[in-house]
């Protein structure tokens, strides 16, 4: 039996800045932390933290997501983030506040909620 040489663990590159993609609906809040190129580093949601039902869409759940991700970002060396907010949910503002309170600088806030320019064709008029 031949001796298998273990491969050395590669040290993760220190990342100075990242992008936080926040999708906030009325029912849940999803956050992904990506590099500037778009490679996903971390992600979290209210359901992953144990919130169930209507509590997933609350600002408190969003704050807990932000604090959890901030703790996970510290070993990666992330100090500055841009935040892309999407959706009408209650967790939009509390995510940003949680990042700022945990010592991560927010360099840019961007609203990327899709808005219809003309939208779908409306249903035909009712005939009674």
Place 128 in a pLDDT band, splitting at 50, 70 and 90: confident
Domain assignment present for residue 52? The answer is yes
Q: What percent of the chain lies above the pLDDT cut of 90?
A: 83
For residue 5, pLDDT over 80 is answered with: no
Domain assignment present for residue 127? The answer is no
Q: For the chain, what is the domain count? A: 1
Domain assignment present for residue 118? The answer is no
pLDDT in tens, 58-115: 999 999 999 999 999 999 999 999 999 999 999 999 999 999 999 999 999 999 999 9
- Say what the pLDDT of residue 1 is: 60
Nearest to 24, CA basis, from 69, 72, 59: 59
All residues at 6 or more sequence positions from 74 whose CB lies less than 8 Å from its CB, including other chains: none
Domain assignment present for residue 71? The answer is yes
For residue 11, pLDDT over 80 is answered with: no
């Amino acid at each position: 039996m031949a001796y298998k040489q273990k491969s050395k663990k590669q040290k993760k590159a220190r990342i100075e800045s990242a992008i936080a993609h926040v999708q906030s609906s009325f029912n849940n809040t999803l956050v992904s932390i990506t590099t500037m190129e778009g490679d996903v580093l971390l992600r979290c949601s209210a359901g992953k933290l144990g919130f169930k039902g209507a509590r997933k869409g609350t600002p408190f759940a969003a704050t807990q997501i932000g604090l959890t991700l901030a703790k996970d970002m510290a070993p990666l060396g992330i100090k500055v983030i841009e935040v892309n907010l999407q959706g009408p949910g209650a967790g939009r503002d509390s995510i940003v506040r949680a990042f700022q309170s945990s010592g991560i600088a927010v360099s840019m806030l961007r609203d990327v909620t899709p808005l219809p320019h003309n939208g779908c064709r409306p249903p035909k008029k009712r005939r009674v």
